[in-house]
Structure 1
Amino acid sequence: MNKWLMFIISCIFIGTVFSPAKVNAAARVFDDVSPKHRAYEAVWSLASKGVFEKDEDGKVRPGKYVTRMEAAVMTARILGLKRETNHAGFRDVTVLNKNYNEVAALAERGILQGFTDRTMRPNDILTRAQMAKLIVDAFGYERKKQFTLPFKDVKVSHWSAPYIEALVRYKVTSGTSTTTFSPDQKLTRAELMMFLYRAHQAKAVDEYNDQELFNLISEVQHKASSIIYYYLYVNVSWEDSMDELKKTRPLFSTFKKELTPFAEGKMLERMEAYYKVTCIYCDWLVYDEVYDSGLPYDILERSSEKIKVTLRYPQGLEEPHAETWTLVKRNGQWKMSQLPDYMSADEEPFHLTIAEAEKYLISQYENTYRHEKYREYVQDIYYVETDRKGNYEFVVNTNMDDYYVSIDPATAITQEL
């Protein structure tokens, strides 16, 4: 299912538990994290990027202790890291684990070493000292051999001291007080998200990899749309007719200022037009979510002031097509200013090479959510031939099944033969 559709559906269900708010109130995006919460910006940013996933009931649970697995997943995702080798994983996080890719991405880069018994201990709670090491290694911070610390509870000889000093120097943390760091204290979800948020905010956009760019665009999109959906549902009574709902719907002008940090110009005009006419259960979306579909993409511009990306999408809610998205930075804030350029695959074919088609098929058959407890992954893939219509034929062997697949290089439409 398209990630954006999943997000919209979640908004619909979460919207049912929102309590009525005043029209001039700020949009409440999360049930259990208010805009006044100290971790709100971090939680909103990471959730909008797809770095953090709420619990099945839609709760963030900011005070819940974070596990080593949760920390590994969030760290890999915020840095846009992907597994590049057939890493063996750990005895307790094998290739069948749903989060194997994130864990392997960290392990193959030496960011996650595990323990001497070749375990990761994914369910153990992360401490603040362990968090310091994880973030310093993940972001590549310099560790000094000689240093002082302002904390009375961290000796310079302690294994975590160089990592804690680096976090302080890079302004990711200032400790639990001016004189304490509390290295053995268990870390909460909110605390980890604040640490990751601060560290990533300091990273220059021209140093982002492709996935980080996609995540940034997705963050801007999600933040704007979550505001719109909040006000769309804030006064909903499910017994009301559409005419009644339009009467009780807050005026767009009452929350327009909440959207302006994320949209301007033509995009803001489209949002207003959408909000005024859309029905509650409509499938009409303001825009499609930017995500890596597995098809080729082009980074047209990447600077500290402008990002421009062309992505290709397979057939789903819409026909196969390409979209060019542009973000501009105004007063330190990334926002959408123009509508995306849209081009159908009929007008502009994808022209996939055999290698590009193979990469796309692997992304489609590597399915994390097809099975309840384990993931399906591709063990082998073979190009067989090109048929009379110009379609490529492949054999795809996964750990669950074997597939004979045809793919149209012009549209990426696939068919199991």
Structure 2
Amino acid sequence: MKPLKKQYIGFVCGALLFIGVDHADAVETKEVYNRFSDVSVTSEFFDEIDSMFYKGVISGYKNGGNYLDKAEFRPNQYVTRAQASKMISIISGYHPNTQENNDYNDVPESHWAHDYITQLTLDNIVSGKENGSFKPEDTLTRAQAAKMIVHAFDLNKTYQGTSFYSDVPSDSWYAPYVNALTEAGITTGRTADRFDPFAKVTRYQLAAFLDRAYNQVSVDEMNTRQTLLIAIETVYRLESMTGYHRQQGYLDGAQPVLPAFDTFQNDIEPFMTENYLPTLESVYGKSCTQCSVQLFETQLNPDRFIEFSTKNDDTIQFETATFGEHNIQFKLVRDNGEWQLDGYSAGDQTSRTTQPGIRQ
């Protein structure tokens, strides 16, 4: 357990997910923009859900048209096999396969999850039933989730000891996967001696499993898309926080006024370095309360392979990379375990011009 436990003050209240919270010796308090109306910032699983949302692995159910409007996460809703295939594809950095078809009799090319299921099948991460079906709309069980995650992250299945749980027989098909997940610290079971392998997996449980599995991969071992998830999360957090405060200038008065940058600077400092702060402050000052200008190009899905100039557990940097119509220069550094933006610029691919810190 980390010696420092963050304590969050959220912007929303209501019917929330409250699940036991670990208490640590020291407490740091900061304000955070909570995107969900039904997940408490004090939930034991808030950090995992929050991280998976900002990485684009799992989304919410919108209650409004504005991208800043609160959404429902529905943490206790069960996950289908199709939904899990999409989430695992994204967090594993797999590119959805659009050139191949699968042999399942219930996953046609028109199915929304066809490409995710097909790619995971080709990579032997998922498999179907004996009758040739995949059952995409069936709810995922905890045993099935364990198998998918172990294969996706190539976890060690060589554990030879006694099963960790009384309801996971050593000779069962799922024992190697459940034990691997437990040995890696991704799950501790439903109780000290029960895993409940055939229970249905909920959205908050899968978010927690995937976040823990992802965090065990070192940056130098990550593939391109996995690495870009770190960049996506960082800029999306900054975008959301600055957007939230910018919007308050429109909501709080009849005459829109852009809130002063220093009124919320402390809330966004965890996500950027001192070097980058003046740049963001300058860009923010040119934005408005009623427009939908984005400070960053957050759709960081590469059109082709990216050659990183630096990619390790301390620094991530690519000098030039093409994302859609933009050339982006990007640098992240890690401070006390947290990734922070240290450099960013995006320019038009045709003109080759760039402007620090803003989407053109």
Which residue pairs with 1:197 in the alignment?
211
User: Which amino acid in the other structure matches residue 324 of structure 1?
Assistant: Q
Which residue pairs with 1:385 in the alignment?
none
Which residue pairs with 1:289 in the alignment?
298
TM-score (norm 1): 0.70
Unpaired segments ≥5 residues, structure 1 = 1-16, 316-320, 349-417
Whole-angstrom distance in 2 between the partners of 1:145 and 1:264: 42
Which residue pairs with 2:271 in the alignment?
262
Whole-angstrom distance in 2 between the partners of 1:224 and 1:210: 22
Contact map agreement 1:270 1:286 (CA 8 A) in 2: no
2:321 counterpart of 1:311: yes
Counterpart selection for 1:77 from 90, 113, 116: 90
Unpaired segments ≥5 residues, structure 2 = 1-10, 14-29, 64-70, 354-360
Contact map agreement 2:219 2:312 (CA 8 A) in 1: yes
| CA deviation profile, 1:229-265 (whole Å, cap 9, x unmatched) | 233335753872214xx4xx4x544533332221123
Which residue pairs with 1:331 in the alignment?
336
Whole-angstrom distance in 1 between the partners of 2:32 and 2:100: 46
Contact map agreement 2:159 2:179 (CA 8 A) in 1: no
2:238 counterpart of 1:224: yes
Which residue pairs with 1:52 in the alignment?
58
2:307 alignment partner, SS class: strand
Q: 1:265 to 1:190 in 2, by over 3 A?
A: same
Q: 1:80 to 1:25 in 2, by over 3 A?
A: closer
Whole-angstrom distance in 1 between the partners of 2:304 and 2:147: 35
Contact map agreement 2:31 2:267 (CA 8 A) in 1: no
Which residue pairs with 1:108 in the alignment?
122
Q: CA RMSD in A?
A: 2.6
Q: 1:313 to 1:74 in 2, by over 3 A?
A: closer
User: Which amino acid in the other structure matches residue 102 of structure 1?
Assistant: Y
Counterpart selection for 2:77 from 45, 56, 64: 64
TM-score (norm 2): 0.80
2:156 counterpart of 1:142: yes
User: Displacement, 1:276?
Assistant: 4.7
| CA deviation profile, 1:333-381 (whole Å, cap 9, x unmatched) | 2111123264753348xxxxxxxxxxxxxxxxxxxxxxxxxxxxxxxxx
| CA deviation profile, 1:33-77 (whole Å, cap 9, x unmatched) | 232122211122111111112224432111111111111110011
| CA deviation profile, 1:86-124 (whole Å, cap 9, x unmatched) | 142521112222221111111001111111111111111
2:37 counterpart of 1:31: yes
Which residue pairs with 2:223 in the alignment?
209
Q: 1:346 to 1:271 in 2, by over 3 A?
A: closer
Whole-angstrom distance in 2 between the partners of 1:31 and 1:233: 18
Aligned length: 319
User: Which amino acid in the other structure matches residue 272 of structure 2?
Assistant: A
Q: 1:264 to 1:177 in 2, by over 3 A?
A: same
User: Which amino acid in the other structure matches residue 31 of structure 1?
Assistant: S
- Whose radius of gyration is greater, 1 or 2? 1
User: Displacement, 1:145?
Assistant: 6.5
| CA deviation profile, 1:372-404 (whole Å, cap 9, x unmatched) | xxxxxxxxxxxxxxxxxxxxxxxxxxxxxxxxx
User: Which amino acid in the other structure matches residue 56 of structure 2?
Assistant: G
